[in-house]
Amino acid sequence: MASAAGRSAEVPAVAPGASAWANTLPLDGRVYVAGHRGLVGSAIVRRLKAAGFTDILTAERAEVDLRDQVAVNNWFARHRPQYVFVVAGTVGGILANSTRPAEFIYDNMMIHATVVHAAYAHKAEKLLYLGSSCIYPRDCPQPIREDFLLTGPLEPTNAPYAIAKIAGIQLCQAYRRQYGCNFISAMPTNLYGPNDNFDLNSSHVLPALIRKFHDAKIARAGHATVWGSGRPRREFLHVDDLADCCLFLMNRYEADQHINVGTGIDLSIGELAQLVGRIVYPQARIEFDAAKPDGTPRKLLDVSALHRLGWRHGIDLEAGIASAYAWFLANGGASPATETRKPAAAKPAARKPARRNTAAAASEETAS
């Protein structure tokens, strides 16, 4: 029924970035996307291709383990990237973060350090490091301003990941101050879109809800289960908006201060479940599993600094979820590759055959 229809579904186009701006970076510049297989990295590659970049560099994990400084240095010596997007790392949702904290802190601290150091050592012109909104204190005033960083205790379910991400910001600032490197940082809110991780053990809430309502529809279950109370509030940004913003920042932003990237709009997890339910399986009843953690009560970014720079998101949440669900269907209802051993493909990642992802892996990317 739905799955058969799904396989031939067209993925509706969504238009990222509501602000008109023009890329001024040289289109033949060597641009390295570290973490190109993941949700964010694959979106940045798509955005760079759409802009006309001709020398987009990517590295498979078989070629370079990004936790290995010598391997990363050698790769940089061979390829000499001029512009670097650091969107690699081990990522996952609330369950993966609380059950695999060692991987989350070790992999991320190592990857950020090796790539930032190699970019300095091999004289990259500019580097954009992507963090996560989970870096902010758990009980932060809302909306969260950039200068609230390190003003209070972190949310315990993802503190090891957050510490690694905070270290990444400080790395960029330290290399800027000591060596004059043009390294900048951006902190995106919760992301979703093509190439998301739909595995229920490691995913974030939005792809998890798409899969849960879809599976419930296929099984004619009549209900879908949502973790926690449904009361926590989150903000969601389509990854194609984020990719547009990353290229914008690579063009336009040069400062020590990290910058928030989001929509400035949040909703409760209960409201999100209703929205996903309306799109995927309107007949489903929503049940809450109070045994699962709620995590941070609210995470809404203050995006006024980004708006002042001249960038706003363009993809509305409902259209974005409909498009993400169409992608899920068109890609067999499974999650994307976390790693392959082949050279980087030229085709947009969203069209690649899906592979099941059972665990978040190094060289993925994004926010927690």
Q: What residues make contact with ligand GDP under the rule CB under 6 A?
A: 93-94, 134, 158, 190, 203-205, 208, 212, 226-228, 232, 234, 269, 292-296, 368
Q: Considering the complex, what minimum distance in angstroms separates the CB of residue 204 from ligand GDP?
A: 3
Choice among 83, 120, 136, 161 that is catalytic: 161
Q: Considering the complex, what minimum distance in angstroms separates the CB of residue 342 from ligand GDP?
A: 30
> In the chain, which residue ranges form alpha helices assigned H by DSSP?
2-7, 39-51, 69-79, 94-99, 101-121, 159-179, 205-218, 239-252, 269-280, 304-309, 317-330
Q: Both tokens of residue 159?
A: 């503190």
Contact yes or no for 87/365 (Cβ under 8 A): yes
Nearer to ligand GDP, 110 or 226 (CB): 226
Nearer to ligand GDP, 260 or 296 (CB): 296
Q: How big is the CA angle at 267 (ends 265 and 269), to the nearest 5 degrees?
A: 145
Nearer to ligand GDP, 106 or 288 (CB): 288
Nearer to ligand GDP, 94 or 167 (CB): 94
Contact yes or no for 16/355 (Cβ under 8 A): no
Assess whether 32 carries a catalytic annotation: no
Nearer to ligand GDP, 11 or 269 (CB): 269
Q: Considering the complex, what minimum distance in angstroms separates the CB of residue 207 from ligand GDP?
A: 8
Residue, CB closest to ligand GDP: 93
At position 66, the amino acid (one-letter code) is: L
Mapped to the 3 state alphabet, what secondary structure does 30-72 carry? EEEEECCCCHHHHHHHHHHHHHCCCEEECCCCCCCCCCCHHHH
At position 350, the amino acid (one-letter code) is: A
Q: How big is the CA angle at 27 (ends 256 and 186), to the nearest 5 degrees?
A: 25
Minimal CA–CA distance to 235: which of 276, 198, 279, 188? Answer: 188
User: What's the CA gap between 312 and 241, in Å, rounded?
Assistant: 9
User: What's the CA gap between 165 and 132, in Å, rounded?
Assistant: 7
Nearer to ligand GDP, 81 or 93 (CB): 93
Q: Considering the complex, what minimum distance in angstroms separates the CB of residue 228 from ligand GDP?
A: 4
Q: Both tokens of residue 216?
A: 């419930």
Q: Considering the complex, what minimum distance in angstroms separates the CB of residue 305 from ligand GDP?
A: 22
Q: Considering the complex, what minimum distance in angstroms separates the CB of residue 309 from ligand GDP?
A: 25
Active site residues: 161
